[in-house]
Amino acid sequence: AFDISAEPVAVRERYGRTTYGQSCLLARRLVEAGAAFINVYFAPQIGGCEGGWDTHGFRDKPMYPVMKNHLLPITDKTLPTLILDLEERGLLDSTLIFWAGEFGRTPKINNLSGRDHWPQCYTVLFAGGGVKKGFVFGSSDSKGAFPATDPVRPEDLSATFFHLMGINPSTEIKNNFNRPFPISTGKVIDQIIA
């Protein structure tokens, strides 16, 4: 499964010849091989730009060209390819894709043409694995600053993630002092479940 050179050149090109693209191709191969959990992320140096999605701005380099010329084209090419490839192989319904950052970005652009940390409003994507296809849940205000409808918290995302993996979100684990802690304190987002 780890030998992506076994894939036809056309398939490797379809995913994109970037670290992220080839990592998503490897992820698909690992799903085919039966791997239960796979994590793919943008590397700090990817597709010819630094910082991945950390788009504050750096070294007086404006962020818009980095987004336009690197991050968005890589994502636009690779993520749909992974989803469609899994669907064509009959693996999407049994594979949960969760695409997210650690938080959102400020609605206002900073002095480096970038955006800073903003946990109040952000976008995540669930695909396959028991979620509705083509469904949008919630919305932001016109500036993308705050939720306008159906706000969701990170703990709701984790509860939904666990639920879709067949794990009861109220399951408790114990720390080294034998104190119980729930794996999630959130509520499953029932509206997105297929």
Can you give the pLDDT at residue 51?
59
Query: Which structure tokens are listed for 92?
Result: 């999407």
Can you give the pLDDT at residue 174?
96
Q: Tens of pLDDT along 14-32? A: 999 988 999 999 999 999 9
Band of pLDDT at residue 114, cut at 50, 70 and 90: confident
Query: Which structure tokens are listed for 165?
Result: 């993996």
Q: Give dist(CA 38, CA 162) in Å, integer.
A: 15
Instruction: Say whether 150 sits in a helix, a strand or coil.
Output: coil
